[in-house]
Amino acid sequence: MKLSWPKTLVKKWFNIKSKAEEFQADDDSCHYAAGGRERDTEVSNAVLFFPDATERLSKKGSDRRVRRSRSKIDIDAAQVTEVNNYRVFVATWNVAGKSPPSNLSLDDWLHTSPPADIYVLGFQEIVPLNAGNVLGTEDNGPARKWLALIRKTLNTLPGEDRERANYGQSSRYCLVASKQMVGIFLTVWVRSNLRDDVKNMKVSCVGRGLMGYLGNKKEGDELRRNSDVMEILRKTRFPRVQGMGDDNSPQTILDHDRIIWLGDLNYRIALSYRSVKALVEMRNWRLLLENDQACLRMEQRLGRVFEGWHEGRIYFPPTYKYSNNSDRYAGDDRHQKEKRRTPAWCDRILWNGRGLNQLSYVRGESKFSDHRPVYSIFLAEVESINHGRIKKSISCSSSRIEVEELLPHSHGYSYTQLNYF
């Protein structure tokens, strides 16, 4: 008798990575087909990046030259660069392994005024973290349900035609990437009129915990959590972008210009349950934050993790752990033999790099999970090259040079040089 193991299971057991990372997205016209479209591509599951055209122009790209018939033309990068500001909605939610019902409302969570240009929604524990899900075939059912709910909510914003949310029709928002890794699920949505401007999407997954799949949930183990962050930063590698020089294609997380890190970071408050509960009732966020897990902020100050990163001021109660469908923390309702979970700000959003301005940092109040969702709105500066300005500059410079070329070199005229990327 010959035994054979499923390929997916063997890969998980031996932590074998697939050759090509894939993610799901709508097609280029923002139409949704059943199951979406899979693309062979490699966005870290909790990190969002924004490019910076000016740096691309001013670094190694400045050595690249455009040659015309007999002349070279100088163009200042600032003259051909546009700066656009986009509203980016970033959210993280641990949904405690619960699959969403079709009537779950996300309106209070996702409806902002004004609506954002980009929505980045990260989920944790979209499936129960049991042996079957961790070691067996990935369960994509809950992810499909979350995508359907998000699509419906984003495309029925106040004042929008609700019929546009129907599958197969053009939508106001398009899914440009979604990726699941066991219980972690990241989705990125953009306005349909920005879809053509989103290019070179790359995904890279780094597993942590047991065999790189089972997360670390041990309370009080901040050193392990610090190690997880450092390993993700160290191991994440993105494929090079075709058409860009080696020096201009970012491969690591920190190679990027603007970075947003979101997720259930699982840092805890280093106080007793009763002390935390009393401070929450007094809304004494300052004292609570001073004891934030011997703490995320303390670890930052000591340079052990997220050094140089930023987090907005927290003015909301700890987001974990709540009793089922309740506003009460679980420690109030525990059975005598159960471990009492001290309330904590497990769910966080941080950022790094210039050109990101945080407008808000708040939590939602959905009682669907034992975690409350956390979201932030950023204003992101995105610099792009205006090719129309380049053509205009080249045309004007070319006309000038044609006149200058009629003059003899003895008059001291010489050709100028064009540097741009």
Q: How far apart are CA 149 and CA 103, in angstroms?
A: 9
Kindly state whether residues 276 and 141 are assigned to the same domain.
no
Kindly state whether residues 96 and 181 are assigned to the same domain.
yes
User: Binning pLDDT at 50, 70 and 90, where does residue 307 land?
Assistant: confident
pLDDT on residue 27? 74
pLDDT digits (tens, 9 = 90+) for 46-57: 455 555 443 443
Q: How far apart are CA 413 and CA 322, in angstroms?
A: 76
Kindly state whether residues 307 and 169 are assigned to the same domain.
no
Order of strands across the sheet with 173-181? 37-40, 22-25, 173-181, 184-191, 118-124, 81-94, 374-385, 356-363
pTM attached to this predicted model: 0.77
pLDDT on residue 207? 77
Average pLDDT over residues 392-402: 59
Q: What letters, b where the CB count within 10 A reaches 16 and e where it falls short, cover 111-128?
A: eeeebbbbbbbbbbbbbb
pLDDT on residue 328? 92
**Which CA distances in Å does 9 have to 140, 216, 414?**
15, 21, 68
C-beta separation of 105 from 76 below 8 A: no
Residue 91 located in a structural domain = yes
CA trace torsion 14, 20, 24, 28 (10° rounding): 180
pLDDT on residue 99? 95
pLDDT on residue 370? 95
Query: In this structure, what are the phi and psi dihedrals at residue 133, rounded to the nearest 5 degrees?
Result: -75, -35
C-beta separation of 192 from 14 below 8 A: no
Report whether pLDDT(355) > 50. yes
Total domain count for the chain? 2
Largest CA-CA distance found in the chain, in angstroms, rounded: 97
C-beta separation of 57 from 385 below 8 A: yes
Average pLDDT over residues 315-328: 93
Report whether pLDDT(401) > 60. no
Kindly state whether residues 236 and 212 are assigned to the same domain.
yes
User: Binning pLDDT at 50, 70 and 90, where does residue 331 land?
Assistant: confident
Residue 178 located in a structural domain = yes
Q: Is 58 exposed, middle or buried (0-12, 13-18, 19+ CB in 10 A)?
A: middle
Residue 173 located in a structural domain = yes
Among 48-52, 252-256, 363-367, the range scoring the smallest mean pLDDT is: 48-52
Among 147-156, 165-174, 207-216, 332-341, the range scoring the smallest mean pLDDT is: 207-216
pLDDT on residue 283? 94
pLDDT on residue 53? 44
Q: Is 43 exposed, middle or buried (0-12, 13-18, 19+ CB in 10 A)?
A: buried
Kindly state whether residues 351 and 366 are assigned to the same domain.
yes
Kindly state whether residues 89 and 229 are assigned to the same domain.
yes
Residue 227 located in a structural domain = yes
Report whether pLDDT(294) > 80. no
Residue 243 located in a structural domain = yes
Kindly state whether residues 354 and 381 are assigned to the same domain.
yes
Kindly state whether residues 204 and 286 are assigned to the same domain.
no
Parallel, antiparallel or unpaired: strands 374-385 and 81-94: antiparallel
Average pLDDT over residues 58-87: 57
Which tokens hold the place of 265? Answer: 């970071």
Residue 207 located in a structural domain = yes
Report whether pLDDT(128) > 50. yes
pLDDT on residue 311? 93
Task: Indicate which CATH number applies to the domain containing 102.
Answer: 3.60.10.10
pLDDT on residue 305? 84
Percent residues over pLDDT 90 in the chain: 36
* Mean pLDDT across the chain: 75
Kindly state whether residues 189 and 228 are assigned to the same domain.
yes
Report whether pLDDT(197) > 50. yes
Which tokens hold the place of 224? Answer: 């392990």
Kindly state whether residues 363 and 256 are assigned to the same domain.
yes
Report whether pLDDT(418) > 50. no
pLDDT on residue 266? 87
Among 158-162, 350-354, 375-379, the range scoring the smallest mean pLDDT is: 158-162
Residue 65 located in a structural domain = no
Q: How many CB atoms lie within 10 A of CB 341?
A: 17
pLDDT on residue 167? 44
Residue 394 located in a structural domain = no
Kindly state whether residues 230 and 307 are assigned to the same domain.
no
Kindly state whether residues 256 and 282 are assigned to the same domain.
no
Q: How far apart are CA 267 and CA 258, in angstroms?
A: 24
Among 11-20, 137-146, 306-315, the range scoring the smallest mean pLDDT is: 11-20
Residue 294 belongs to domain spanning: 269-345
pLDDT digits (tens, 9 = 90+) for 88-118: 999 999 999 999 999 999 998 998 888 999 9
